[in-house]
Structure 1
Amino acid sequence: MNPFKTGPGAKSVIGMLALTIAVSGCADMSATQRGTATGAGVGAGLGALIGGTTSGGGSGRTAGGALLGAAAGAVVGNIWSNRMENQKRTMEQATQGTGVQVTQTSDNRLKMEIPSDISFDTNRADIKGNFRPILDRFAATLNDNPSTTVSIIGHTDSTGSASINEPLSVERAAHTRDYLSMRGVSPTRVVVEGRGAREPIASNSDNDGRARNRRVEIYVAEMAPR
């Protein structure tokens, strides 16, 4: 028996996934439509595989699994709604010229990367004055879209020991959450995490690199309806 032989069900799976890749890359689709199409296609492929590998699985079971998987894939995961797009544009305008990077991630989250010269002084977790207007505007966008959740991740450079850097990175993330809370954002929507010096984005061998590594990353996600 050839273990790599592809029957009708497997060919259907390959076809679905190929179609998903093609469709989700169409230029005239919105980001929300592309995300939904990708989820549906991946869900269809997984559903087909599950249907084909269960006992008695034939082409009918594979097709049924594909339909169920497509339905599940279309509603699982993050979506990039008009509200998320508006939030991204608002934050791009609010942070213009500050060095803050505002992007859409591959998994449809809004990401803000805030460098240390804006957010925190060295070895400190107190929010700097020029970081506050950014957080004020950010809090307003979160209050306009209450279905979103927020992850705040603090980072440090490699100066000092892990026993210092780990709690400092957590404290910076927590202070950011607390500031948002004072601006009306429910703390139950926010998860904080500190990663110390474990995830550098630049070399720690010079001042510029260490300054880039001392940062806070904020992610906003809107889940698809279930």
Structure 2
Amino acid sequence: MTYSGVVKVGGPADVHELAALMISKVAVGPMDNNAYLLRCRATGEQLLIDAANDPGTLLALIGDDGIASVVTTHRHADHWQALEAVVAATGARTYAGAHDAEGIPVPTDVLVEDGDTITVGRVELTARHLVGHTPGSIVLVYDDPHGHPHVFTGDCLFPGGVGNTRKDPEAFAGLLHDVETKIFEPLPDETWVYPGHGKDTTLGDERPHLAEWRARGW
């Protein structure tokens, strides 16, 4: 089946099958968060991005194979409500941005800096640190050697704009700068974007609107 990236709370996961990686997207409540389970096709190792809520849903998605690690994209509470339960059930190693870890009540095993590599089996993800939505938000870039890149953006980039910066001009300018220089400039239009809430998009769909976002200030 063709991957659409459209999921709803209580509904099934949508699976994006790549040559080396399987990406399962599921929505959890009550704030309609996205969680992503990445599975290396060569080794079967799994990694979860954002144990946001509904631990039963996430553990059912993970299945009997468990997960080696769980990455929290940022400190906001709607992105880690199920983290304690998932870690307790799986023994997963925890990752979070070095500047956000103190705001996450579950201990972080690995503090992530800009440019660090996180692996799931034989697949490598590159973390980029973006400032503005929170001080330590991270996004994960998978530069698929068999196709185009894929980027998991947390709440830093959505269809139609960057993440919420609470009407703070300095925070907005910082986030837009980081999104432009670390995401849009190095990555091609075909790059698939998996956000922390809602539908997916591509950089090609969003790139023409960067000047519009800058002018409106959000």
Q: Same fold per TM (> 0.5)?
A: no
Which has the larger share of strand?
Answer: 2
Give the number of the structure with larger relative contact order, counting CA–CA contacts within 8 Å between residues 6 or more apart. Answer: 1
TM-score (norm 2): 0.29
TM-score (norm 1): 0.28
